[in-house]
A and B are shown apart, each in its own frame.
Chain A
């Protein structure tokens, strides 16, 4: 009995993968659209997905958020997905070079770094130069991930040499260290500082202009739901979706 139930579950799961959920509704777009997106898009894409579902009744959007590079590896390894939104063109390039994209990626948002400090800025840090003081504990992202590369560019532009106490594996981990009070400052994206709500203040600094991160999006070649993929990629550039992204702190491309 248990074996039979297991077989049934497997068959159902396989069938589910095959047609991408429900059959497409009239008008060409339907079923489930699976979107792999950079972790920094978690809040804003959640809202964009809801709007998309409202505009296309019968369509369901499911997200998998994570580090861009990890998601890119999943795609090139054959993960079934319809759309990929990355936090850096370099990561997107690995997917395009592997021949997994359908068409050219388009930039739909830009993100800049801010100097994130605890609420009220107790140490009075107002510029990158202040981070070079030995008594200031700073968390940066590791150079291997996009926010770390951006931080290195901004610090070079400012001519400041900072020795961080830690090089975190992604931008949210750096934010977590700041929220826990273990560091005095972190260089993170404006959107992440805003998503942290009242716990964190984001101090703008001029050098962040030299390290702007483009966010590209693309439909995937092996998409189980190609029409849904195309519709979602078009939708993120509509004024409606752009407004949601702007509210989260992204800049328009």
Chain B
């Protein structure tokens, strides 16, 4: 909490209105919110099935796959960015093929930002959802199956509602991590205002020149993310 207090005390309150309306602030904020949300969607689409595989099935090398899932947590994000470039870059393993076949290049694009954020944030979702699945009683699913429900119906009507709080918590962690992502983003997607310059990148570059501007940008990011997270939490608690 102390560093947060330091930011609040050190903030240039007098010049705050001018700084907030400075060009680029809104663009970076919009890009940050958009990419973090898209990255969370990507993580949900890929991460929930992966968590289900890890929790409900047995296959050779499952322990190894589970360890691989946590790799982005351990890997310094800058190295993650380089690894993404080696795979999806212009000369990368998959990137060269993507470019030749579809004319698609990920580095230096907004889609590249989403890929970098999803890569780094995915473990938060998979680990929470897998935990929720292990905590959920599998007998409900078995009961549903004996009553004639198919696998997909069981998953949709029984499993998902059971683990909804775990999925929600995982998605929130995932979103928050994606929002603050810096290293992999600047390495893989570069930095261009309006296209790949998210708030953390804008903060870092502002720091090179103007400490006050960096503090204001950080405060904006903090206030917006806390407001969104608090708002979502109330809604979920109200629904529960």
Contact = CB atoms under 8 A, between A and B. Distances in A.
Nearest to A69: B208
Contact of B190 (A67, A73, A165): A165
Nearest to B182: A169
Interface stretch (A120-128, A174-182, A201-209, A215-223): A174-182
7 contacts: A70-B207, A73-B211, A165-B107, A165-B108, A167-B192, A177-B190, A180-B86
A144 B208 contact: yes
Nearest to B109: A165
A167 B204 CA distance: 12
B157 to A, nearest CB: 46
4 closest A-B pairs by beta carbon, nearest first, are A166-B190, A144-B208, A165-B108, A181-B91
Most buried by B among A169, A173, A181: A169
B206 interface: yes
Contacts of A137: 108
A164 B207 CA distance: 22
A169 B91 contact: no
A139 interface: yes
A180 B188 CA distance: 11
B47 interface: no
A148 to B, nearest CB: 9
Given A165-B192, A168-B191, A144 B90 contact: no
Given A144-B208, A165-B190, A180 B196 contact: no
B85 interface: yes
Interface in B201-229: 201, 204-209, 211
Contacts of B186: 168-169, 173
B79 to A, nearest CB: 12
Given A142-B208, A144-B209, A182-B85, A167 B191 contact: yes
Most buried by A among B89, B90, B196, B208: B208
A145 interface: yes
Contacts of B86: 180
Contacts of A144: 205-206, 208-209
Most buried by B among A67, A139, A142, A145: A142
Most buried by B among A67, A137, A145, A165: A165
Interface string A163-203: 01111110001000100111000000000000000000000
A71 to B, nearest CB: 11
A173 B191 CA distance: 11
A165 B82 CA distance: 17
A180 B91 contact: yes
A22 B161 CA distance: 67
A142 B191 contact: yes
Given A70-B207, A167-B192, A182-B85, 20 more contacts: A67-B208, A69-B207, A69-B208, A69-B209, A70-B208, A73-B211, A137-B108, A165-B190, A165-B192, A166-B108, A166-B190, A166-B191, A167-B191, A169-B186, A173-B187, A180-B91, A181-B91, A182-B90, A182-B107, A182-B108
B108 A145 contact: no
Contact of A180 (B89, B189, B204): B89
A50 B107 CA distance: 40
A139 B91 contact: no
Nearest to A163: B192
A121 B209 CA distance: 34
Contacts of B91: 180-182
B192 A166 contact: yes
A144 B82 CA distance: 24
Most buried by A among B85, B86, B108, B204: B108
